Structure 1
Amino acid sequence: MRPSDFYSRFPLAHTFSIVARDPQSGWMGVAVQSHWFSVGSIVAWGEAGVGVVATQSMVEVSYGPRGLALMRVGLSAPVALEALLQMDEGRDVRQVAMLDAQGRVAVHTGVRCIEAAGHYQGDGFSVQANMMKGAEVWPAMAEAYTSTHGDLADRLLAALEAAQAAGGDIRGQQSACILIVKGERSERPWEGVIVDLRVEDHPQPIAELRRLVTLHRAYQEMNAGDAHLAEGRVEAALEAYRRAAEMAPHLDELPFWHAVTLAEMGRLEEALPIFKQVFARNPDWADLLTRLPAAGLLRQDETMLQAILAQRTG
């Protein structure tokens, strides 16, 4: 096989990444940044109750699904990775990290990965990088991950930010991804995904990824509010809606539904100022409001409806 034939088979996702498990929650995550379009679609893999994988450099994508398949049947991350490496004639140009649901970690940096390339394996995590501006990148990632307080997403993002601050990919920035899954398996696998966010093409993908994580948390609060409401915990629901709106003050969606909930509960005086702010930014929300009673999302009360619509300013 000619060298050109070999390399044409594999995406050139030279990058820095981290795989990690939070010992308190059992959640597992992988985060990555690269000067490559849509890096998350080829590098980051994960399955609740099984593990996570980062496959990069001259990427053999199959390390992701095949690694998860081996861990799913009980192989540890080190055994699974070694088995796949033994079958791969291109192992010298691969960089792969795997972590299983018990927190066991394995990482491989091929001897022909483009410098600066290397990895650091710690307790329940691994950071790895290739084609970096300098060899300071992966130690900086490890330090940031271990010293940052917060949940797993905060710590993964801190590692990416530290990598970039230490020089990052010698080519620059383009895309990033964060994937977090639960530590327990489920018959409904979609419920095992905690965070799955990608920035496909952006001049500052890590900063954009952090913005998306904040937005994701706002919508999680909104969903929590809905769950509280379904259980009759009205005050807890309203508090969750308030937190959601504070996290994403530029969005009309979150305060709108907060106000709808207040109105439905008979707390119209609290709802009206919120409706007024939302309608001032986008009057189409007032039109949407008139459609809610037919969908069963707002009681049919003409007096209440007119009071709300009176909050329109134009």
Structure 2
Amino acid sequence: MHSTFSIAARDPASGLLGTAITTMVPAAGSICPHIRHGIGAVCTQGWTNPYLAPAALDRMARGYPAPEALAEALATDPEASIRQVLAVDATGRAAVHSGEETNPWSGGVTLTNLALAGNFLAGPETLEAMRAVMTGSPDTPAAPADLYQSAIALGDRLVAALAAGGTSGGDWRGNRSAAVLVAGPDIYPLVDLRVDHHSSPLAELRRVFEVSRDLWFPFLRAVPTRSNPRGDWASVRASLQEKAPDSTSAEQDSDPGPHAPE
């Protein structure tokens, strides 16, 4: 795995953790992003070693801050010089490692609640463009949000930040895959969308996100949770029945009318 720019972020209002990534090889979302709710978010890239993510997250779970957790994980890797890893812990402490043998341009940015990194980029402008989106004020004032709304808002901003990075130059060889992930307290993520291979993966990720906003995220609200093992399928089923076409009118619409005598 090589050549990617990505984000690991914590939403300070909800505490949710999210990642987003894009690269020129297929299916980066299957191996690079890792999140444990309430613990941390890690993205492994460069000439990637996905084992670094659980190694860092295990240490965060024991109370290590992200920079120390990542440093200890990297100390176990004999090829740390070709890795790039970014991490944010549950309190917003961030870390980036860019090995000296990662492909130029290579670098990272850390702020409270935010880590950005990329390699094989056109230049540092990519990271600055993503930083501006992630730290800027929303276009509209935030309304009181529940967990699902917070996850969608974080996912939306992560997708927008990737797009800004791509517009500013991004991977000079062109991108082919993209993914966004936001974890919640249950066994399934609240946002988990991927474009595994596409000529315009960032635009396609945005399209899939908007489709999910209408069709998937409302559905996800009904899935059972630890605190509500019944779920809320009744409301979804009722909504589907309300939207279903009336069978009588459908039959009438399909009636071609009187037939001519044979």
Say which of 103, 120, 138 aligns to 1:131: 120
2:143 matched residue in structure 1: none
1:13–1:39 CA contact under 8 A, matched in 2: no
1:148–1:154 CA contact under 8 A, matched in 2: no
1:137–1:164 CA contact under 8 A, matched in 2: yes
Task: Give the alignment of 1:65-104 within 5 angstroms.
Answer: 65-104=54-93
1:148–1:155 CA contact under 8 A, matched in 2: no
2:169 matched residue in structure 1: 167
CA distance in 2, matches of 1:42, 1:225: 28
Number of residue pairs aligned between Structure 1 and Structure 2: 235
CA distance in 1, matches of 2:161, 2:220: 28
CA deviations on 1:255-303 (whole Å, 9 max, x unpaired) are: x974x523xxxxxxxx6xx627xxxxxxxxxxxxxxxxxxxxxxxxxxx
Task: Give the alignment of 1:1-314 within 5 angstroms.
Answer: 12-147=1-136, 149=138, 151-182=153-184, 186=185, 188-190=186-188, 193-218=189-214, 219-222=216-219, 224=221, 230=234, 258=239, 260-262=240-242, 275=245, 305-312=247-254
Could you say if the C-alpha distance between residues 73 and 170 of structure 1 is closer, same or farther in structure 2, counting changes exceeding 3 Å?
A: same
CA distance in 2, matches of 1:49, 1:161: 27
Could you say if the C-alpha distance between residues 166 and 223 of structure 1 is closer, same or farther in structure 2, counting changes exceeding 3 Å?
A: closer
CA distance in 1, matches of 2:191, 2:25: 21
Could you say if the C-alpha distance between residues 308 and 222 of structure 1 is closer, same or farther in structure 2, counting changes exceeding 3 Å?
A: farther
Could you say if the C-alpha distance between residues 60 and 313 of structure 1 is closer, same or farther in structure 2, counting changes exceeding 3 Å?
A: farther
5+ long unaligned stretches in structure 2: 140-152, 224-230, 257-262
Q: More deviation in 163-172 or 207-216?
A: 207-216
2:19–2:43 CA contact under 8 A, matched in 1: yes
2:56–2:72 CA contact under 8 A, matched in 1: no
RMSD of aligned residue pairs (Cα, Å): 2.5
Task: For 2:88, give the aligned amino acid.
Answer: L
Could you say if the C-alpha distance between residues 72 and 310 of structure 1 is closer, same or farther in structure 2, counting changes exceeding 3 Å?
A: farther
TM-score with structure 2 setting the length: 0.81
More helix by share: 1
CA distance in 2, matches of 1:223, 1:98: 27
Q: CA deviation at 1:169?
A: 0.4
